[in-house]
Structure 1
Amino acid sequence: MRRTAVRATAVLASLALGLAACGGEEPATGAAPSSATAPPSASASAEPPAGGPGDDAEARVAAALEALDRREEIAQLFVVGVPADALGSGAGLVEQGVGGIFLAGRPAAPAAELAELTAGWQADATGPGLWIAVDQEGGAVQTLKGPGFDRLPPATDQGDLPAGQLAELAGRLGSQLRDAGINLNLAPVVDVVPAGTEDTNGPIGVFDRQYGSTGAEVTPAAGAVVDGLAAAGVTATLKHFPGLGRVRGNTDDTADVVDPVTTAGDDQVTAFAGTLAAADAPPMVMTSSATYGRIDPTAPAAFSPVVVRELLRGTLGFTGPVISDDLGNAAAVAATPVGERAIRFLAAGGTLVLTVAPTTFPAMLEAVEERSAADPAFAATVDAAVRTALLAKAEAGLLD
């Protein structure tokens, strides 16, 4: 078992004790952690020492870094969207050295056609291999539905399947993605939507994206999806940390989405810890863009060192890549200047900036490069993020 999983197992016990002592929740009057109002400076490492990769992975990372200049290193920290009606434009992003491409929208191309397209992108990549990502959850959120892809039931139905049937479905999903050249799935959803609140939970419950109404229901189902994807060579992504199960507004189209209830020891958080502990292969974790009033009321989770560095990386012990939710088109981040979105996410402890809007990539790349050149502390943060990103690629075979 990986070190992250071991630490996640241990933290489940400590979080559970904290919940029991508080009668299931921290007192409503409890103050946010002191660092919520005084977040760590950029001089603090945004990425902890990675655990698990062997000498071979380290050697491949070192070789990859030798071949990259500074701008190319920073470009590895971006996964950029390609519109469904303009998939050919992905070639231009490959030329710019992006770390990954996200298939946005709902392209109707058959699997064989996508396999040819993605193989071309990988062949044209001059540096490390590309993450090629989709949102293949099931139900209302399924990027690929063309020939060669099963129509997947929503997560609410997946969570009701017997364990063996869900494992079989997840394995088939992974194989279909792999055969189309997809190596990163932005799934499964680990958000916990309390029973009876589904119709008011705009981003998750309304669309039946949750596996259950408790962490105990969500964790085994999400873990089965992670393992089924991994068995086919596809990396999974747990989302949306620390949980969107209690919010009302959808951060894609609503500004200032706030969760005033969830705490650091909540069922929402322990669902992520439990899934990490149970996973046979290392997933990524996606941050939410909502603000959590009882964890860090000062910033959206994606921009919060308290959420990313302290809670996810510190308390849960997660050492792998942290990917943002969309920082390109989402209403939740629209008030923040484009370049600052990438800077704030990386400074908080993030690894991969996801932007669905390809037109935002140049400004984000330029902003991170300029800040890195001017601020040695931020430059060290970027160095750590690049190393974490490349270690994950090494583990996924993308540095071979």
Structure 2
Amino acid sequence: MTAGVSTLLLLGALDALGVGVPPRSGAAVASTLTPAAQAKAAYDRMTSAQRVGQLFMVGGPVTGLGSATESAIVRYHVGNLVLTGRTTSGAPPVRALTSHADVLANASATASVPLLIATDQEGGYVQVLQGTGFSRMPTALTQGTWADSALYASAASWGRQVRRSGVDVDLAPVMDTVAKSFASSNQPIGRYEREYGYTPSVVADKGTTFLRAMGASGLAMTAKHFPGLGRVTGNTDTSAGVTDTVTTRTSGDIAPFRAAVNSGARILMVSSAYYRLIDAARPAVFSPTVIGGMIRGDLHFTGIVVSDDLGNAYQVHNWTPAARAVDFIGAGGDVVLTVNPAVVPAMVGAVSARAASDSAFRAKVQTAVLRVLTVKAEYGLLEPRLPITGYLGPLTTTALQRWLGIARTGTFDRATILALQTRIAGPVVGVWGPRSMAAMQTYLGMSLDGATTWNSRTVAQLQRYLNTQL
């Protein structure tokens, strides 16, 4: 038994007994290790298969993950999830889904390292999370016409909504620049008004304002699609041979991505288009020149490089799923994103096999895994977690108070009740009763059971949810 596990067992026992636990900065007890040290500790307790799994992000419908996605996490140790499709059912079902996904990342699946749970919440035509609890976001092109102060205020609110749904990563903002005269011909970006403006300076300004505001909620933000899709006509999702014949390694269109990195983006998505004047032989997603030379070298980026979709995208259909994963990691990438879970076995198997037989590739895998784990640590995902006891003791109450942003007393007092009732849109009366319980269960995406006060079922779900938040 590791020290971390024994500590959590002790804390869970203290919580169940009602013994006070001092307030901590983490959900259970804060680590004093640096993110790099936390990452190394997590890496050391993982099996080889679990390490490789950290290099994948699998798609799952936001309306219900499905068996293939769950199998990718449980059986193939995939360490990251992207919610796909659209929901208009509001935040509570998303909270239930992300809490469930979080539980899948257990000791046997991921060595209990939580998933990065991502989605596409740009605005306009690309807004996965909709309905009650999520504001309807305008297109980036519209956002780009707002004053920075207005954009920041709105994006900060949108970020809190997304983060409180249990999502960790927003695959936004789009930092591609599309010339106004070319926008109608640009299928992936301009057609859907996903650009913040028509010049690199406007894109850099408005895109980084969105990034900083959304990130203030604790979301990890993703600048995409490096080195830019603003100069192509075809959409890599539905077309092959999509090629940029204009962009160079020093083009002005690179500036918004540099601004995003300097503004705190810890994830950068690389496109699958060809860039004839940078690396004519390979799509960017498979290019050491793009990933190693431009992203790591020119931009000095130390975060996670994630691929654009390598599961269904027609641009890469001439590569087998196995080759796509191996070529991306071999080029210096970190996380293979596939919206299609069916290709996960082939991709994971190929990366594992190459790592076992090729020492240079194995070193790239190790570097990438540690990079992913370090970013997870930066966002608090490697801190000890709340044990799921179903008991509302001091430890759980302290975590609840931390989430609410109030004094951490470990006591479910009137101040905590008022803050919680306000957060869950319940009756703000300072007394916890049946209506508050119904509001709590609704907020968590649970079926109502008529409880008049806290029961183990609701507390356990609250503990699962808080583990997605802290």
Checking the alignment, whether the CA contact within 8 Å between 1:226 and 1:283 is kept in structure 2 is no
Q: How does 1:3-42 map to 2 (within 5 A)?
A: none
Report the CA distance between 1:104 and its aligned residue: 1.0
Question: Equivalent residue for 1:382?
Answer: 365
Q: In 1, are the aligned partners of 2:170 and 2:220 still within 8 Å (CA)?
A: yes
**Aligned residue in 1 for 2:102:** 122
Query: How far has the Cα of 1:220 moved from its partner?
Result: 1.4
Instruction: Determine if the alignment matches structure 1 residue 304 to structure 2 residue 299.
Output: no
d(CA) in 1 for partners of 2:138, 2:278: 33
Tell me the distance in 1 between the aligned counterparts of 2:366 and 2:206: 35
1:179 aligns with 2:164: yes
Does residue 237 (structure 1) correspond to residue 222 (structure 2)? The answer is: yes
- Equivalent in 137, 148, 151 of residue 122 of structure 2: 137
Whole-angstrom distance in 1 between the partners of 2:100 and 2:194: 33
Whether the 8 Å contact between 1:226 and 1:235 is mirrored in structure 2 is: no
1:87 and 2:65 matched: yes
The equivalent position to 2:55 in structure 1, one of 52, 77, 93, is 77
2:442 corresponds in structure 1 to none
Q: What's the CA shift for 1:65?
A: 1.1
> Within 5 Å, which residues of 2 pair with 1:276-291?
276-277=261-262, 279=263, 281-291=264-274
Distance in 2 (CA, whole Å) between partners of 1:326 and 1:91 is 19
Instruction: Decide which moves more: 57-66 or 164-173.
Output: 57-66
Q: Per-residue deviation at 1:85?
A: 4.8
Aligned-partner Cα distance in 1 for 2:175–2:218: 21
Deviates more, 1:144-153 or 1:251-260: 144-153
- Among 339, 342, 348, the alignment partner of 2:331 is 348
What SS does structure 1 have at the residue aligned with 2:181? coil
Aligned partner of 1:20 in structure 2 is none
Given the superposition, is the C-alpha separation of residues 85 and 174 from structure 1 closer, same or farther in structure 2, using an over 3 Å criterion? closer
| Alpha-carbon separation, structure 2, partners of 1:100 and 1:168 | 29
Q: What residue ranges of structure 2 are gaps of 5+ in the alignment?
A: 1-31, 107-111, 384-470
- CA offset at residue 146 of structure 1? 2.2
1: CA distance, partners of 2:66 / 2:314: 27
Counterpart of 2:322 (choices 339, 354, 357) is 339
Long gaps (5+) in structure 1: 1-53
User: Which residue of 212, 231, 247 corresponds with 2:197?
Assistant: 212
Superposition deviation, residue 337 in structure 1: 0.8
Contact 1:201-1:249 at 8 Å conserved across structures: yes
Q: Which has the larger radius of gyration?
A: 2
In structure 1, which of residues 155, 159, 168 is the aligned counterpart of residue 144 of structure 2? 159
Q: 2:210 aligns with which of 216, 219, 225?
A: 225
The 2-side partners of 1:310 and 1:120 are apart by: 39
1:99 is aligned, of 70, 79, 99, to 79
Question: Shift in Å at residue 121 of structure 1?
Answer: 1.8
Residue among 346, 362, 374 paired with 1:391: 374
1:190 correspondence with 2:175: yes
Between stretches 54-63 and 175-184, larger displacement belongs to: 54-63
Q: Secondary structure at the match of 2:82?
A: strand
Aligned to 2:35: 57
TM-score by length of 2: 0.72
TM-score, normalized by length of structure 1?
0.84
Runs of 4+ in 1 over 6 A off after TM superposition: none
CA deviations over 1:215-244 (Å, ceiling 9, x no partner) = 100011111121112211101100000000
% identity of equivalent residues: 42
Contact 2:189 2:229 in 1 (8 A): yes
Q: Any conservation in 2 of the 1:74–1:386 contact (CA below 8 Å)?
A: yes
Structure with the larger RCO, 1 or 2 (CA within 8 Å, 6+ apart): 1
Q: Any idea what the Cα deviations from partners look like across 1:223-278, whole Å, max 9, x if unmatched? A: 1121112211101100000000010000000001000111111121122112222x
1:246 equivalent in alignment to 2:231: yes
1:26-60 residue CA offsets vs partner (Å, 9 max, x unmatched): xxxxxxxxxxxxxxxxxxxxxxxxxxxx9521221
